[in-house]
């Protein structure tokens, strides 16, 4: 493993190859972060997923997601509309009818979302297993580390 502490600064992009020198702009104002926080929130991905199938009305979406409150569905749809992901069509009839559809931008995101969901489906058992293991072993390091430090504290003195 790498012993040296050659920490590279992430403030600027130099390497363009993601596999070699992978680095984001990790700052708070990074746009990738902003956008990701938006579309990866509690409901957005579900809305995108459902709308990729077909155009839907407000009540349809609300019924199909059915954990969502009226307020949050409205907020989510407004955000997605603002980001240019969904298009909102109001039909001026007496019982109002509003249709929501994905834009081209929204459809292009769906392909990526799909791969994400696929990964999750493929690995959910691994994760569940890892969690069980972790929860079962909780508290094991109290013993282990006390013994370890007691044995090596006098011999292993590292420089700050």
Partner DNA sequence: CCGTATCCTTTCGGATACTG
Partner DNA sequence: CAGTATCCGAAAGGATACGG
Contact of 33 with 82, CB cutoff 8 Å:
no
User: Is the CB of 74 or the CB of 105 nearer to a copy of itself?
Assistant: 105
How many other CB atoms sit within 10 Å of the CB of residue 140?
Answer: 9
User: Is the CB of 68 or the CB of 109 nearer to DNA?
Assistant: 68
Q: How many residues bind DNA (CB under 7 A)?
A: 23
DSSP H helical ranges for 83-136: 104-136
CA distance 126 to 105: 33
DSSP H helical ranges for 2-157: 31-39, 44-53, 58-65, 70-82, 104-136, 140-152
Is 97 a binder of DNA (CB under 7 A)? yes
User: Is the CB of 90 or the CB of 111 nearer to DNA?
Assistant: 90
In whole angstroms, the minimum distance from the beta carbon of 14 to DNA comes to 25
In whole angstroms, the minimum distance from the beta carbon of 15 to DNA comes to 25
Is 27 a binder of a copy of itself (CB under 8 A)? yes
Buried b (16+ CB within 10 A) or exposed e, 26-65: eeeeeeeeeeeeebeeebbbbbbebbbeeebebeebbeeb
CA distance 51 to 37: 20
Residue 133 structure tokens: 């293991």
Is 13 a binder of a copy of itself (CB under 8 A)? no
In whole angstroms, the minimum distance from the beta carbon of 37 to DNA comes to 8
3-state SS, residue 24: coil
Is 42 a binder of DNA (CB under 7 A)? yes
Q: Which does 152 bind (CB under 5 to 8 A by kind): DNA, a copy of itself, none?
A: a copy of itself
Report the residue from 14, 16, 71, 94 that binds a copy of itself according to the rule CB under 8 A. Answer: 94
**Residues 52-71 within binding reach of DNA (CB under 7 A):** 57-60, 67-71
Q: Which does 71 bind (CB under 5 to 8 A by kind): DNA, a copy of itself, none?
A: DNA
């Amino acid at each position: 493993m790498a012993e040296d502490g050659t920490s590279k600064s992430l403030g600027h992009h130099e390497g363009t190859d993601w596999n070699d020198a992978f680095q984001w702009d990790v700052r708070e104002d990074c746009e990738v972060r902003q956008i990701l926080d938006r579309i990866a929130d509690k409901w957005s991905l579900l809305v995108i997923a459902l709308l990729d199938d077909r155009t839907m009305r407000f009540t349809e979406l609300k019924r199909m997601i059915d954990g969502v409150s009226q307020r949050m569905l409205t907020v989510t749809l407004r955000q997605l509309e603002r980001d240019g992901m969904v298009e909102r069509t109001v039909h001026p009839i007496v019982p109002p009818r509003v249709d929501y559809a994905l834009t081209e931008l929204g459809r292009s995101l769906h392909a990526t979302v799909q791969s994400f969901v696929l990964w999750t489906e493929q690995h959910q058992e691994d994760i569940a297993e890892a969690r069980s293991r972790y929860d079962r072993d909780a508290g094991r390091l109290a013993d282990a580390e006390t013994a370890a430090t007691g044995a090596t504290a006098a011999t292993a003195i590292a420089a700050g």
